[in-house]
Structures are given as structure tokens and as C-alpha cells.
């Protein structure tokens, strides 16, 4: 009788193993190599490459067996407005003392509009508003009740800095959402201002001038029906010259802006801007596929996996290589999500699993913001969002990046999954670049859904090179990617070791199952909820 027992035990073990969804490298690599190919033209928002990408993703969703939305399609409409600055746009500044400055558009000042107007003329006074933050929980208000209607607000990026007396104000050395460029523009709109100019420094923004310059050089998008008349950036030297022209010292005003009693400063400058743009209305799409849950009660709740499909597309005016292929950012996440979905459809979880490929992340979270406005699954029934963006192309690691997970119970769930996989959670480090606020998961976080971007130890951990064969080559590639970020050189290479990308995708899927099969929904830790969704 021992043989049947052994055979039965072996059969049960194999059955149990079969129930574990396994992410395969072959489909991941195939999807990545194709999505990053020139054929997809950089997957640009509002471009043919974007349309091709949506068509590819919805076809793959159907092939994999993901269930469509209620209307029978995998598409979720995102209505957006695209604006491309034309070459004869300019800004001129005149001081009350008669001095006139005309900084060069591109190298010294960046200009754009979200007004929807093709020919816009702006004449408005400039007001320095420090960090431009209104943060009641920090007892901080840079506006002090002053009327900002019709004015151009000049702001610093980043947050008010910690002091010896208050080492933890605005999260200490870490970034908060108040420091992000996106918040600055949002607040200017709430204040009724004519627009906002952000003062750029590489340390405060955490990236050099080329990043906003590339963004403003391309067509920019926003959800239809909202936006500032003027949005832009000033090079630090340009800002310094403007302030000096009317008798102000930039550094002195910066120092004042570090105090709670700071009040807006009339810069005694007027801005005349002629902004000529090509404006068009577009319909873009998120792609959504669903794996229904199996539990009679819990299937009404869901876990979302997300990875934005867009990149920067084609720039017809650029000489040479003018396709921003976006292999790592974010062809990697798109391909990983497809490979994860292929595994998930074979092994449904107790809760429903929603696979979301948002549009327009590079242009300000358009797709994820649209999803939040009209979710495929009720937000109060969404346990978590696990996002993938710019994944590991170096090789297997010993730890996994979970920055931001500590804000919610997701950190504990991640620790359980990491232990099962023989991984460690990468050490927590201060978020000096505002990374938590720079990916699609933050749209969910703002709406109250626990969420974070599942990172890679390549970018957030240490000691990972112990697993990698050609360490020197891998280190060189990792360093080179910093130059490839948001450049045409972010291209796929057939000799990439994708074992680490598969590992990262597997961890994310395993974490999704931990969340999807848990007795309760995920929750924020005290004092760290971003939204007001009732859970």
C-alpha cells in the first residue's frame, strides 16, 4: 500500500505546485522586444505608435483570456487635449525701473499653456510665492490669503527644508507631494493665477534641465477641461537675472521662503508672453483586463496591477534618431504585466485581479487620473494598486525595492512574500527625489487606495551584483541608463539578462496574490492616508 500513498502524495505536491502562477521569461522578452521596436514609434500619446500599442494590448488581453469591461471591450476612454509649442513663442520681462530681459525659449526658459488656446497673449505681474505650498498639517501657507488672480507665480521646487528645531518638517530630507512640479501647477490653478514658473536647480528637482526641456519640447497633454494659461520653468541663472533686474536677490528671497511667516513678494516685474501652440483634442485609451475572483464574497473586491504603456513617441523636428523607444521606461513594465496576466488567468485568486495599462503617464498621469475618475472597479472595493515602471534589466538580485510600501499594510504583506522567495526587502532610504509621487500608483494613493511602485534592488538596494556574472558590464549599463532616461537611446538590447526582471514581476504577482487572498483589505498606516475613500 505504500506505493499508492507515495504516488498520491507526489500528485498532491505537483497539484499544489501547479497552483502557483509562474511568470515566464520568454513571453516577457518577446513583448518587450516588440513594444520597444521602432515599429511602435515610441508609443507616443496621440500618435500612431500609441494607437498601435493600444491595439496590441487589447488583442493580447483577449488572447490571454482576460475578461473585458462591462461594455465588452478592453478600452477605457481618456479624453485629452494636446498642445505643442510653436517656434515663434516668446516671453519678455520688464521691470518697473525700465530694464527689459528676453530669455531664450528652450535654453533659459520653458513655456507652455494648458488653456486650449492656439494664440495666447499674457500680460501679468510676477509674484514670488516661495514653495507655493498650502499644507495645513504642517501649519504652512505660502499665500497668506493674498489674491493671486491674474498673476504669474514664481516658485521653488522641492519642499521647505528641515531645520535644527524641526528636523522632520515636510518629511525631513525626503520629498513630499508639495515639492513636486505637478502639485505646484495644481495649486496655481486653485489660486486662480494666470500661471506658474518654476525655478529649476538640479538638486531641488532631482534631475537636470534636459528632463523638463524634453517634456516641453514635445507635445504636452492634460485631461480635457482643466489647465493653467501659462506653465513653465526658469533656469536658475535666468531667475537670478530677473530678480536682480528689479533689485531683488534670489538667495535672500529663498532664505525668507524657508520661514512660516514668509509672505508673497511682488517682484516689480511684468511678463509679456506670446504663446503660439498647435492644439488638438484626442481620445486615448487605457487598456483594462480582468481575472474574476473565485470567493463568493471576496470577488467583489480587487487588487490592481498597473504599468503605463506610453513613452515620448516621435519628434519629427529632431535630426537623427528621433524615436523615443522607451524600452525600460516603460516597455519593461508593460511586457511584465502581460507575462503576469498570462500566469494569473490560469490560477484565479479569491479577490478579482485587474490588469491596467494606463495611457499618458509621461504627460502627467492622464490615464491613471482618468481611471480614478471612472474606475473599472469601485475604489472603496480596491484593496491595493501594485505598479511597475522601469524594471530591472541587469540580473537577479538578493533584495527587492518596496519604497512607499511602509505607508500601508502592504509593507507587511511584502515582507511575507519576500521571505517565501528568499529575498530581503531593500533598506528604507529617504525619498530625496520624490520618487513615490512620480508614477501612476500615486493617482491611486491620492484617492485613498494603498499603493506603491514595486522597485528593483538594482535601483534601490545593495549587494545585488553578487548574483550577476559580468559585473563590470552590468555596472556600466546601469550607469549608462541614467543618460538613456527619457532619451532616444532607451532601446532594447537582445543580450539583456532579464532574470531580474522576471524575478521582479514574480514578486509583484506573488504580492498581488497575498493581497488578493488575504482575509481583509489593505489599509493605510495612521497618519499616512492620502485620500478619503471609505474602506
3-state secondary structure 404-439: CHHHECHHHHHHHHHHHCCCEECCCCCCCCCHHHCC
Instruction: Determine the structural domain holding residue 187 and report its residue range.
Output: 83-279
One domain for residues 108 and 157? yes
Q: End of a domain among 279, 303, 335?
A: 279
152-156 and 119-128 strand pairing: parallel
Residue 19 counted as domain residue: no
Nearest CA to 236 among 267, 269, 197? 197
Helix ranges (H only) for 154-301 are 181-190, 202-205, 210-217, 236-245, 250-256
Residue 490 counted as domain residue: yes
pLDDT of residue 468: 57
One domain for residues 219 and 307? no
One domain for residues 210 and 253? yes
Query: 205 pLDDT exceeds 60?
Result: yes
d(CA 490, CA 391): 12
One domain for residues 436 and 490? yes
Query: 142 pLDDT exceeds 80?
Result: yes
d(CA 409, CA 417): 13
d(CA 52, CA 42): 10
One domain for residues 210 and 314? no
Query: Is residue 386 within 8 Å of residue 504, measured between CB atoms?
Result: no
pLDDT of residue 533: 52
DSSP 57-121: HHHHHHHHT-B--TTSSSEEEEEEEEEEE-TT-EEEEEETTS-EE-PPBTTTEEEE--S--SEEE
> 424 pairs with which residues across the strands?
399
Give yes or no for a cis peptide into 259 (omega within 30° of 0).
no
Query: 130 pLDDT exceeds 60?
Result: yes
In the chain, the number of structural domains is 2
Angle among Cα 172, 174, 175 to the nearest 5 degrees reads 115
pLDDT of residue 284: 95
pLDDT category of residue 467 using cuts at 50, 70 and 90 = low
pLDDT category of residue 149 using cuts at 50, 70 and 90 = very high
Residue 365 counted as domain residue: yes
**88: CB partners within 8 A, 6+ apart:** 274, 276
Query: Is residue 347 within 8 Å of residue 479, measured between CB atoms?
Result: no
Residue 4 counted as domain residue: no
One domain for residues 374 and 476? yes
One domain for residues 263 and 228? yes
pLDDT of residue 9: 42
Q: Lowest-pLDDT range, 10-24, 43-57, 231-245, 272-286? A: 10-24
- In tens, the pLDDT along 517-530 reads 999 999 999 766 56
pLDDT of residue 13: 38
User: Residue 149 is part of a domain; what is its CATH number?
Assistant: 3.50.30.30
Query: Is residue 332 within 8 Å of residue 393, measured between CB atoms?
Result: yes
Residue 70 counted as domain residue: no
One domain for residues 200 and 273? yes
Query: 36 pLDDT exceeds 70?
Result: yes
- In tens, the pLDDT along 62-103 reads 999 999 999 999 999 999 999 999 999 999 999 999 999 999
pLDDT of residue 435: 84
One domain for residues 310 and 445? yes
User: Residue 325 is part of a domain; what is its CATH number?
Assistant: 3.40.630.10
Q: End of a domain among 223, 252, 279?
A: 279
Span 460-480, mean pLDDT? Answer: 63
pLDDT of residue 387: 98
pLDDT of residue 527: 66
pLDDT of residue 10: 41
> 282 pairs with which residues across the strands?
80
pLDDT of residue 33: 98
Span 159-173, mean pLDDT? Answer: 91
One domain for residues 247 and 110? yes
Q: End of a domain among 250, 279, 308?
A: 279
Query: 1 pLDDT exceeds 70?
Result: no
424-425 and 382-387 strand pairing: unpaired
Q: Measured in whole angstroms, how far is the alpha carbon of residue 77 from the centre of its chain?
A: 19
d(CA 473, CA 496): 11
Mean pLDDT of the chain: 91
One domain for residues 237 and 315? no
Query: 2 pLDDT exceeds 60?
Result: no
- In tens, the pLDDT along 371-410 reads 999 999 999 999 999 999 999 998 898 999 999 999 999 9
Residue 8 counted as domain residue: no
Residue 286 counted as domain residue: no
- In tens, the pLDDT along 306-334 reads 999 999 999 888 889 999 999 999 999 99
One domain for residues 495 and 347? yes
pLDDT of residue 4: 45
pLDDT of residue 135: 94
Residue 307 vs residues 75, 287, 333, 359, 386: alpha-carbon distances, Å: 15, 10, 5, 9, 9
Top pLDDT among 458 and 267 is at: 267
Angle among Cα 499, 502, 504 to the nearest 5 degrees reads 110
Residue 184 counted as domain residue: yes
Span 177-191, mean pLDDT? Answer: 94
pLDDT of residue 7: 44
Amino acid at each position: 500500500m505504500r506505493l499508492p500513498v507515495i504516488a498520491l502524495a507526489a500528485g498532491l505536491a505537483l497539484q499544489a505546485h501547479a497552483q502557483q502562477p509562474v511568470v515566464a521569461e520568454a513571453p516577457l522578452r518577446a513583448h518587450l522586444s516588440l513594444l520597444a521596436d521602432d515599429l511602435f514609434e515610441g508609443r507616443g500619446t496621440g500618435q500612431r505608435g500609441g494607437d498601435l500599442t493600444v491595439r496590441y494590448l487589447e488583442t493580447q488581453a483577449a488572447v490571454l483570456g482576460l475578461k473585458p469591461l462591462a461594455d465588452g471591450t478592453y478600452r477605457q476612454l481618456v479624453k485629452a487635449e494636446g498642445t505643442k509649442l510653436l517656434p515663434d513663442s516668446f516671453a519678455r520681462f520688464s521691470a518697473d525701473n525700465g530694464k527689459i530681459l528676453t530669455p531664450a525659449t528652450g535654453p533659459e526658459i520653458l513655456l507652455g499653456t494648458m488653456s486650449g488656446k492656439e494664440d495666447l497673449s499674457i500680460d501679468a505681474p510676477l509674484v514670488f510665492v516661495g514653495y507655493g505650498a498650502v499644507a495645513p498639517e504642517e501649519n504652512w501657507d505660502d499665500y497668506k490669503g493674498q489674491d493671486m488672480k491674474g498673476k504669474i507665480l514664481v516658485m521653488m521646487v522641492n519642499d521647505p527644508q528641515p531645520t535644527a528645531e524641526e528636523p522632520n518638517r515636510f518629511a525631513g530630507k525626503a520629498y513630499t507631494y508639495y515639492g513636486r512640479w505637478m502639485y505646484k501647477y495644481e495649486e496655481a490653478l486653485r489660486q486662480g493665477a494666470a500661471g506658474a514658473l518654476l525655478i529649476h536647480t538640479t538638486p531641488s528637482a532631482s534631475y537636470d534641465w534636459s528632463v523638463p526641456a524634453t517634456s516641453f519640447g514635445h507635445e504636452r497633454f492634460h485631461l480635457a477641461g482643466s489647465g493653467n494659461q501659462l506653465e513653465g520653468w526658469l533656469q536658475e541663472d535666468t531667475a537670478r537675472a530677473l530678480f536682480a533686474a528689479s533689485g531683488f536677490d534670489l538667495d535672500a528671497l529663498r532664505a525668507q521662503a524657508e520661514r512660516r511667516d514668509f509672505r508673497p513678494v511682488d517682484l516689480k516685474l511684468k511678463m509679456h508672453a506670446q504663446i503660439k501652440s498647435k492644439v488638438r483634442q484626442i481620445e486615448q485609451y487605457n487598456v483594462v483586463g480582468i481575472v474574476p475572483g473565485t470567493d463568493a464574497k471576496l470577488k467583489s473586491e480587487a487588487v490592481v496591477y498597473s504599468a503605463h504603456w506610453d513613452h515620448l513617441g516621435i519628434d519629427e523636428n529632431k535630426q537623427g534618431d528621433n524615436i523615443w523607444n522607451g524600452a525600460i521606461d516603460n516597455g519593461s513594465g508593460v511586457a511584465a504585466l502581460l507575462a503576469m496576466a498570462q500566469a494569473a488567468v490560469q490560477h484565479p485568486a479569491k479577490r478579482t485581479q485587474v490588469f491596467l495599462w494606463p495611457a499618458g503617464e509621461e504627460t502627467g498621469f492622464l490615464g491613471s487620473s482618468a481611471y480614478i475618475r471612472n474606475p473599472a472597479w469601485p475604489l472603496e472595493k480596491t484593496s491595493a494598486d501594485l505598479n511597475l515602471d522601469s524594471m530591472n534589466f541587469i540580473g537577479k538580485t538578493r533584495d527587492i525595492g518596496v519604497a512607499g510600501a511602509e505607508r500601508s499594510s502592504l509593507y507587511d504583506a511584502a515582507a511575507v512574500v519576500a521571505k517565501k522567495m528568499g529575498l530581503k526587502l531593500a533598506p528604507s532610504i529617504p525619498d530625496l527625489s520624490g520618487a513615490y509621487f512620480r508614477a501612476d500608483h500615486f493617482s491611486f494613493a491620492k484617492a485613498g487606495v494603498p499603493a506603491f511602485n514595486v522597485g528593483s534592488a538594482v535601483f534601490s538596494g545593495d549587494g545585488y551584483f553578487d548574483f550577476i556574472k559580468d559585473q563590470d558590464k552590468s555596472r556600466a549599463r546601469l550607469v549608462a541608463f541614467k543618460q538613456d532616461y527619457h532619451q532616444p537611446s532607451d532601446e532594447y538590447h537582445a543580450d539583456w539578462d532579464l532574470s531580474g526582471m522576471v524575478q521582479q514581476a514574480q514578486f509583484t504577482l506573488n504580492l498581488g496574490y497575498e493581497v488578493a487572498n488575504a482575509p481583509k483589505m489593505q489599509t493605510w498606516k495612521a497618519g499616512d492616508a492620502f485620500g478619503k475613500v471609505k474602506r
